[in-house]
Every structure is written in structure tokens, then in C-alpha cells.
Amino acid sequence: MARTLQLFLSRSSAPKELSTLIMAVAGACKDIGALVARGALANVLGSAETDNIQGEEQQKLDVRSNDVILKAAEACGVLAGAASEEEENPVPLKAGAPYLLLFDPLDGSSNIDVNVSIGTIFSVLPAKPGEGVEPFLQSGRNQVAAGYAVYGPQITLVLTLGEGVSAFTLDPRSDEWLQTAGPLAVPEMTREFSINMSNMRHWADPVRSYVDECLAGKTGPRAKDFNMRWIASMVADVHRILTRGGVFLYPWDKREPHKPGKLRLMYEANPMTLLVEQAGGRGIDGNQNILDIQPTSLHQRVSVMLGSKEEIDMLEAKHA
């Protein structure tokens, strides 16, 4: 009989308050999963016709998911504050509580209306004294937990508490999260890469050279044929990498040269890098480990390259 998430947490080294927080987030993901499953029937498809702080158009499901997680965050009683992709400023919660939650309530927004896998990403930091954004500006190394839910053919929760990575499937029969995999291990070597190829003409030389070598296949310098996958939901692409290896890139490019990349450090890159590292892979921005970046703003963007160790080592060498 598979272990429930609750039992898994009780047997881990997680303090009681952290377990409470994880159960609250997992509960919110169940509720979002139910909205996703009903789609048009729950009136959650289409645009909300508003923009978020990133200047991106919000979908109805971005807004609904944000509300669901914020409600759970407030109710759980162990959060000093929460920060979301969809909120300009952090939301102060219970003064003196031990944790901060950072989240991307709905990742892969362009896939909502076309019934392709989407997800929720979250990161947990220890609370720090101070007000506003300041306590949140901690490097990814400080994360005490990170994870995501992927709303795909199955609803799966993937979690790390800093001692390996485990996966739980939501059983629609019992409405329980049951452990179905773990500890996950990202194979060191791969033949699969993931990047939005339509941006090729905008890439920097090291990325261009890396992908060229993958494309050259058996007769090229890598001496093997590569496959390419791009789902355009980071959760789904990273889930594939945690399951069978691969490398995911959303690098800086020349479209908007003043931006370090598209993805956000605090609630996309940091939690995903911790998961990948905990499974034996790596995550860099090109020059340094993503988890070592000292953030300077809440919604800061970052170039992301993560996955199988051999590929990340190679990308790092090309950037050196």
C-alpha cells in the first residue's frame, strides 16, 4: 500500500509547521486541479483581461489559482508572508510565523485553453525579520522545501524537503496524495534537450553552439542523435527531466537584452533547481549555480539551464 503524503511528512525530518504548510499547499493544488479538470464547465478558460506586474496578460485560471493558494496560505497559520507571480507586493500574513511561501500559481498559462499540462510551482523560505520585500530576498540555497504540482493526465505533486525528491499521485478514488515515486534521480547523461527553438536567432553564442552540436547528431562532436521536446509549461518540461533525464533551457536572448531571461528566479528557477539538484542534476544561469544568486528584487528574471549533469557541465564550459 502506497504511503500518503501525510505519512511521508510525519516520517521525514520536517518540523510540524512545515508539514502543515506542505499539506495546505497540496490541498490548494487539489482544488486547482479540480478547476483545471472542469475547464470550460468551471468558466476558468480564457483571458481575465487584466495584466500582472510582469506586464503579462492574466488568464482567468492565473487569477483563480492565485486566490486559492493565498486563501490556503492565510489559513494554515504558519506563514509570515507569501509572494506570488501574480501579486506586485508580498502579502503579509501572520507576524512571527516561521515561513515564507513563494509561488507561481499557474505555470504554462499559454497551455490552459488548449488542454495541455500546466502546473503550480512553490518555494518555502525561513521567515526573516524586516518588512515588505526584504525578508524574501534570500538565495535559493535557503529554501527549506520546494515543489510543484503538474495537472496532466495524472495530477502529480513532486516535493523536496532537502533530502531527496519524492512524487505523489492524487488518487481520484480516495482523494489522497499517494507516494508513487522517489527518491527520483536525473540520469547524468541524456539525448534529449528542451528549448524554444523559435528564438534561435536571438540566442547568445554559447547556447547557439551547444544546440548546434546537439542538432549535428551522430556524425557531429557529440556523436549521438538528440531528440527535442518543448511543452512550454516549465512544470511539464521539468517533470519529464526528473522522470527520464534531459536538459531544459530558457536562456537570456537578444529580444529584450536588458532582461536576464524570461523565467523568474524566486518562484520558478529556484524551486526547480533545488528539485533537480536534489535528484542529482544541476541548474545554472550560464555562469553560476542558480541557487547561489543573491536576489535583488522579488520578480527578478534569470537565464535558466537545468537538468542532466553532463549537459549542464558542457553549457557551463561553453560560457566560461
**Residues at the site binding Mn ion, with contacts judged by CB under 5 A:** 85, 104, 106-107
In sequence order, what are the beta bridge partners of 94?
Answer: none
Task: List the beta strands (DSSP E) in the chain.
Answer: 47-51, 57-59, 79-84, 91-92, 99-107, 118-126, 145-151, 155-160, 165-171, 176-181, 192-194, 227-228, 247-250, 263-264, 282-284, 301-302, 304-307
Residue 192 in the binding site for ligand AHG (CB under 6 A)? no
Binding track, positions 229-268, relative to ligand AHG; x by CB under 6 A? ---xxx---------------x-----------x------
In the complex, least distance from residue 81 CB atom to ligand AHG, rounded to whole angstroms:
20
Could you tell which of ligand AHG, Mn ion, none binds residue 285, using a CB distance below 5 to 8 A set by kind?
none
Residues contacting 10, CB < 8 A, separation 6+ = 19
Are 21 and 124 a contacting pair, CB within 8 Å?
yes
Residue 110 in the binding site for ligand AHG (CB under 6 A)? yes
In the complex, least distance from residue 186 CB atom to ligand AHG, rounded to whole angstroms:
18
In the complex, least distance from residue 62 CB atom to ligand AHG, rounded to whole angstroms:
7
DSSP 141: G
Are 54 and 185 a contacting pair, CB within 8 Å?
no
Cell numbers of 13, please? Answer: 525530518
Could you tell which of ligand AHG, Mn ion, none binds residue 110, using a CB distance below 5 to 8 A set by kind?
ligand AHG
Could you tell which of Mn ion, ligand AHG, none binds residue 137, using a CB distance below 5 to 8 A set by kind?
none
Count other C-beta atoms under 10 Å from residue 20's C-beta: 17
Q: Tell me the CA distances in angstroms from 207 to 162, 178, 187, 309, 312, one per residue in order.
A: 30, 39, 21, 16, 11
Q: Residue type at 170?
A: L
Residue 283 in the binding site for ligand AHG (CB under 6 A)? no
* Residue (85 or 192) nearer to ligand AHG, CB: 85
In the complex, least distance from residue 250 CB atom to ligand AHG, rounded to whole angstroms:
6
| Three-class DSSP category at 143 | coil
* Residue (70 or 78) nearer to ligand AHG, CB: 70
Could you tell which of ligand AHG, Mn ion, none binds residue 232, using a CB distance below 5 to 8 A set by kind?
ligand AHG
Residue 104 in the binding site for ligand AHG (CB under 6 A)? yes
Residue 86 in the binding site for ligand AHG (CB under 6 A)? no
* Residue (93 or 235) nearer to Mn ion, CB: 235
Pairing, β 192-194 against β 227-228: parallel
Question: Which residues contact ligand AHG by CB under 6 A?
Answer: 56, 85, 104, 107-110, 196, 232-234, 250, 262
